[in-house]
Amino acid sequence: MASTRFSFVPLVPLVPLVPLVPLVASLVAIGCAPVPSNNGPSSSSLSASDTIDARRIFEENIDAIHKRDRARYLATYLHTNTLGRNGPAGLELGYESWSARRDSTWPDTLVARNLRVLPIASGVVYGTYCYTVTQKDTTSSGVSERIFVKTPEGWRIAVTTAFGLPAGTPAQCK
């Protein structure tokens, strides 16, 4: 059984007050797992295909927010009890209990910048972007992340995070 070595390079600066350590640890664990050898397509072609497909669902997710299309937005996520949602309040699991399924509010504006994707393993892609969102005369900025997984139904978001910066702090994403 051959294994592939992965190295992890942060895509965004680790800003103080932004607790990304649990997510980074998870990504490192996924990246360090042995990958069985096979005689299928090369890993570079799989990575390119996975990256393109994950980016497509990433853009679909952001576009659904812009168009306030709840059905399209929710369709980009896993509908399982393992859907992970993380932010300053901590990790929450599950699709059924997710407030986004019932919440009728949308941001007045969402500016998503520096959308980046990084293949982690076959069928697993990490994505991140910097955001500035305005809702009810309040503007905030931060970093949002996604982990995309390939399922029999297509690509879906398995983990979503959003870590806002303290009020009044200028956007710091590069």
Q: Is residue 106 part of a domain?
A: yes
Q: Is residue 6 part of a domain?
A: no
Residue 67, pLDDT score? 93
Residue 148, pLDDT score? 97
HSE, side-chain direction, 13 A CA sphere, residue 82: 6
Q: Is residue 170 part of a domain?
A: no
Question: Total structural domains in the chain?
Answer: 1
| pLDDT per position as a tens digit, 108-152 | 888 899 999 999 999 999 999 999 888 888 888 999 999 999 999
Q: Is residue 21 part of a domain?
A: no
Q: Is residue 157 part of a domain?
A: yes
pLDDT-derived band at 157 (thresholds 50, 70, 90) equals very high
Q: Is residue 19 part of a domain?
A: no
Q: Is residue 120 part of a domain?
A: yes
| pLDDT per position as a tens digit, 132-144 | 888 888 888 999 9
DSSP string, 57-108: HHHHHHHHHHTT-HHHHHHTB--STT-EEESTT--EE-STT-GGGT-----S
pTM for the model: 0.71
Its domain, for residue 83, covers 43-164
Q: Is residue 122 part of a domain?
A: yes
- Kindly report the CATH number assigned to the domain that includes residue 147: 3.10.450.50
| pLDDT per position as a tens digit, 33-81 | 444 444 444 555 667 899 999 999 999 999 999 999 999 989 999 999 9
